[in-house]
Amino acid sequence: MTGYMEICLITIVGILFPVVAFIASWLFRPKIPEEEKFTIYECGEIAEGDARRNIGIQFYFYALIFVIFDVEAIFLYPWAVSFGSLGAFGFIEMMLFIGILVAGYAYAWKIGALEWVGGS
């Protein structure tokens, strides 16, 4: 039963810490916003144009692809470390996992989702 108490305590602390930090920052912040906070910042240079513009959706798509392949790398590392003890079953499982990812990548390539279509 003590194991559950430790987990509950860690969960409560994990929830309370950001909540208390958020409330403290809200209480102690300056109440009157300064005009400097709303100006465009370009490394000390005089601002040219408006910095608030839309970012092309394709940047998010490439970030999503990066996250997917990064998660794949996270799963590949423990598999590679324990490869000798897994045997044929572990090899087949990982090849199936990689095959699903490659199939998804090939499908995205086939429908043209990886082509850059102008924009910003």
The domain that contains 12 carries what CATH number?
1.20.58
Residue 118 lies in a domain: no
pLDDT along the chain (120 residues), means of 10: 84 95 90 71 65 72 85 87 88 91 89 73
Q: What is the pLDDT of residue 44?
A: 65
| Residue type at 26 in one-letter notation | W
Residue 115 lies in a domain: no
Residue 33 lies in a domain: yes
Q: What is the pLDDT of residue 30?
A: 78
Domain count for the chain: 1
> How far apart, in Å, are the Cα atoms of 107 and each of 78, 101, 104, 110, 112?
27, 10, 5, 5, 9
Residue 120 lies in a domain: no
Domain that holds residue 17: 2-110
